[in-house]
Structure 1
Amino acid sequence: MADFDLIVIGSGPGGYVAAIRAAQLGLKTACVESRETLGGTCLNVGCIPSKAMLHASEYFDAAANGAMAAMGIKVKPELDLDTMHGQRRDAVKGLTGGIEFLFKKNKVEWIKGRAAFTSANSIDVAGKSYTAENFIIATGSSVTPLPGVEVDNAKGIIVDSTGALELAKVPAHMVVIGGGVIGLELGSVWRRLGAKVTVVEFLDQILPGMDGDVRKEANKIFKKQGFEFKLSTKVTGAQVKGKKAVLSVEPAAGGAAESIEADCVLVSIGRRPNTDGLALDKAGLAVNARGQIEIDHDFRTTIPGIWAIGDVVPGPMLAHKAEDEGIACAENIAGLTGIINHDVIPSVVYTAPEIAGVGLTEEAAKAKGEIKVGKFPMMANSRAKTNHEPDGFVKVISDAATDRVLGVWCIASVAGTMIAEAAIAMEFGATSEDIAYTCHAHPTHSEALKEAAMAVQGKPIHM
């Protein structure tokens, strides 16, 4: 008889949620985690601490650069970076401790250490063997290294996303390698606190994978905020000289090389699945060309009893995607029908303003057939106007024949919250007309979504 009905390997957003849901459904469950605290990358060094720093730095920036003065609040802020870091650590401590409480409440056993398969139904953790009827691999992802650029977080000169959260002082000049979500968010933190920020991106636009209009508008907004962009540019190497880093860069298409000197370099070119060290071959598993574990619709791998979710499987590397997969996977193991719609998974960039989208981009939708598009600018939204938040827009994309909403994209101060309405609408097969004729409270930012839906029909009121 196996030791457990289910062992979850990894306690990130997908893993801990899967373990709790399985225990709620009556399965004898354990979760393997090697960190000193639960929650994985997201809660310890990712989503949560970065949002704590983003929120705090927004207050500082508003006070230091005149936004509050425009509303009649005159202050001269003084940065206390140690306290700012302290409130970040407090947020992490409270939330990771909360997961430990939930494990105890739901009788999930925490097995401390790193897991390695010894067979299809057994693992070794810290020299001890454990067996289970089922395993969920939920080991998440880690930073993708950049050849020629060696990260050393301890020195604080060339860092990854973890090191960028722990900088002891504001760098005079930060270079961010990579114009994706993480680089722009952490670059925003240090720009608001006083750093000059240069973003070096190999592609010709920032935010790969997002809607084209969003990418262009975001670039304009970030430039207005003081970001400098070097697009279509390749980093070929980096050297630490004293307390500075010197980057070697050249045009992506080829051309003359140049050097950029910085006090801090943030390497943020993406993430890769954490599968090394699991001894997957002992369980009969292999990874694909991208290092991911292939699964079927129900999260089963090719080996019966072994399942996988989150960043180690194909799809976007998003905490909320992993959470929903964790719940669905646990329900499938318990004999229920776990459901997740991978076509309706929102993405959010927590800059100021926020950037969010769900469903197809305009480019992808056009490739599938004829569409209709409605846009509405935030500067015409009454709440954004009163809050001095004019930047951005909402865009609704619908099928030309059925009017069914295919995608929604927005840039707004609360875009991350607004996108939930769009996701719910799409989950239930709403048309743009459905959204347009749904009463929205006034004055709210969400009225911009209603107006964009009305614009699909060619009849917005306030534009």
Structure 2
Amino acid sequence: MATYDLLVIGAGPGGYVCAIRAAQLGLKVAVAEGRATLGGTCLNVGCIPSKALLHATHELHEANHNFGRMGLVVPQPQVDWARMLAYKDEVIGQNTTGIEFLFKKNKIDWLKGYASIPAPGQVALNGETHEARAIVIASGSQASTLPGVTVDEEVVVTSTGALSLKAIPQSMVVIGAGVIGLEMGSVYSRLGTEVTVVEYLDQITPGMDAEVCKQFQRLLQKQGLTFVLGTAVQGVERTAAGAVVTHKSRKTGKEDRLEAEVVLVATGRKPFVDGLGLDALGVQMTPRGQIATDAGFATSVPGLYAIGDVREGPMLAHKAEDEGVAVAEILAGQHGHVNYGVIPGVIYTTPEVATVGQTEEQLKAEGRAYKVGKFPFMGNGRAKAVFQGEGFVKLLSDKATDRILGCHIIGPMAGDLIHEVAVAMEFGASAEDLARTCHAHPTFSEAVREAALACGDGAIHA
């Protein structure tokens, strides 16, 4: 039996970051992980491999549609699917082995196996029991599905199966118009697949800024994706040619059928706590099946903490990382904290979509007086040079104080641009502060400054 200051269950972004930070602060740390590789869903079958395929297919799109416009005359590119998947796997390997190196560097023990918690302060796996002053559950999440839908990861797949299909399908139905569905739908659309996205609600990317959603859908339709909104999936049936999706309109009640070679179920994710023994421990759960915690990430069981997808909040890798750092610092006697009002969200399609802070709809709902500064990328010289001038930056600030309340971007490098605003919000900056900061020319970031100027006397290039 080994004894640790901290034992983390799960080596995803939340778990491995928590372990590294705790080790940096002098704690004796171990991580229990059942996968053959570290990094969790994100590095193995989520964020990282999907971005590799998004990058590869974006380059394909550029070669097919924009190379000629730039005077680059090349033969029509051919897709070698096996080599593309091998490239994706190589990217995964580089990242997961990197985490192994960091564990060795920080003297963190990797306990290989799926863990359970038989009693407070104890973690059991592989027939051994380890004691720890603190245990952090960072076991992540798993894909959720729908009644009447059986996933086989061959024809009816989650994002995991979609990352390693044996062949590029001629047609695909994506159930769910959220981040995962739109990213993977975009990948296969660029590869020539006929993609239809089915969504229960009346808009894509539920919860995001409505103006961004409208523009985003229009641009994705222009790229070839088809949307069926406001409809409820009734079931998915395997056929000799693939599968049939039956869905019913929420407005008219009319049923319809969609046939496809592959069906991607992208209806969100749910906490993965199977086998941990939380019921027997008496761990309090939320009505949504998440682990209930206090502001310090502590559960109802002394010495047991939870971070990331298993607790409340957005299921985002970087949110889990911040929580991992915070709880490690708390356990080391410091004052760890996460500002949940400044957690960016990004969709890595082309164009990218990024958001931080409140939306206009949220501000209206709470009756807050605000200003809107908006600037189109069509007014940005760099964006036009790379054929990505169809998006915009939308900045929201308090009407009385000018303090930045939120930002919503659809356009080139939106996922990187949003962090300028996130930093400004962390320091309580005003739109004028951002507007008066010199930005290099020509850069995409000038569009952010112009949106900030639009909150005042007006943008220069609009």
Pair in the same fold by TM > 0.5: yes
Shift in Å, 1:2? 6.9
| Counterpart residue number, 1:262 | 260
Shift in Å, 1:254? 4.7
Shift in Å, 1:95? 0.6
Map 1:311-460 → 2, pairs under 5 A:
311-368=309-366, 369-460=368-459
Letter in 1 for 2:149: V
- Asked whether 1:204 is paired with 2:202, we answer yes
Cα separation, 1, equivalents of 2:461 and 2:98? 45
Shift in Å, 1:459? 1.2
- Give the alignment's Cα RMSD to 1 decimal: 1.1
Cα separation, 1, equivalents of 2:162 and 2:389? 30
More moved, 240-249 vs 261-270: 240-249
Q: What secondary structure sits across from 1:285 in the alignment?
A: coil
Q: What secondary structure sits across from 2:259 in the alignment?
A: strand
| Counterpart residue number, 2:278 | 280
Letter in 1 for 2:458: K
Letter in 2 for 1:397: L
Map 1:60-459 → 2, pairs under 5 A:
60-64=60-64, 66-75=65-74, 76-153=76-153, 156-368=154-366, 369-459=368-458
Q: What secondary structure sits across from 1:189 in the alignment?
A: helix
* Kept after mapping to 2: 8 A contact 1:354/1:412: yes
* Kept after mapping to 1: 8 A contact 2:118/2:277: yes
Runs of 5+ consecutive residues of structure 2 not aligned to the other structure: none
Letter in 1 for 2:348: Y
Listed one character per residue, the Cα deviations across residues 252-280 of structure 1 (whole Å, up to 9, x for unaligned) are 23512111100110000000011221101
* Kept after mapping to 2: 8 A contact 1:376/1:448: yes
Cα separation, 2, equivalents of 1:238 and 1:129? 43
Cα separation, 1, equivalents of 2:260 and 2:73? 33
* Kept after mapping to 1: 8 A contact 2:2/2:129: no
Letter in 1 for 2:114: R
User: TM-score with structure 1 length normalisation?
Assistant: 0.98
Change (3 A) 1:253 1:278: farther
- Asked whether 1:58 is paired with 2:49, we answer no
Map 1:27-66 → 2, pairs under 5 A:
27-64=27-64, 66=65
* Kept after mapping to 2: 8 A contact 1:374/1:458: no
* Kept after mapping to 1: 8 A contact 2:345/2:354: yes
User: TM-score with structure 2 length normalisation?
Assistant: 0.98
* Kept after mapping to 1: 8 A contact 2:284/2:299: no
Cα separation, 2, equivalents of 1:461 and 1:269? 42
Cα separation, 1, equivalents of 2:333 and 2:281? 23
Q: What secondary structure sits across from 2:62 in the alignment?
A: helix
Shift in Å, 1:281? 2.8
Q: What secondary structure sits across from 2:315 in the alignment?
A: coil
Cα separation, 1, equivalents of 2:24 and 2:253? 59
Shift in Å, 1:174? 0.7
Cα separation, 1, equivalents of 2:40 and 2:448? 34
Aligned positions, number:
460
Percent of paired sites with the same residue:
54
Listed one character per residue, the Cα deviations across residues 378-404 of structure 1 (whole Å, up to 9, x for unaligned) are 111111011111121000001111110
Q: What secondary structure sits across from 1:366 in the alignment?
A: helix
* Kept after mapping to 2: 8 A contact 1:157/1:243: no
Shift in Å, 1:295? 1.3
Q: What secondary structure sits across from 1:51 in the alignment?
A: helix
Shift in Å, 1:353? 0.5
Letter in 1 for 2:396: I
Shift in Å, 1:238? 1.0
Shift in Å, 1:199? 0.2
* Kept after mapping to 1: 8 A contact 2:329/2:335: yes
Shift in Å, 1:455? 0.7
Shift in Å, 1:303? 2.0
Q: What secondary structure sits across from 2:53 in the alignment?
A: helix
Letter in 2 for 1:441: A
Q: What secondary structure sits across from 1:379 in the alignment?
A: helix
More moved, 286-295 vs 30-39: 286-295
Cα separation, 2, equivalents of 1:119 and 1:175? 45
Cα separation, 1, equivalents of 2:447 and 2:363? 21
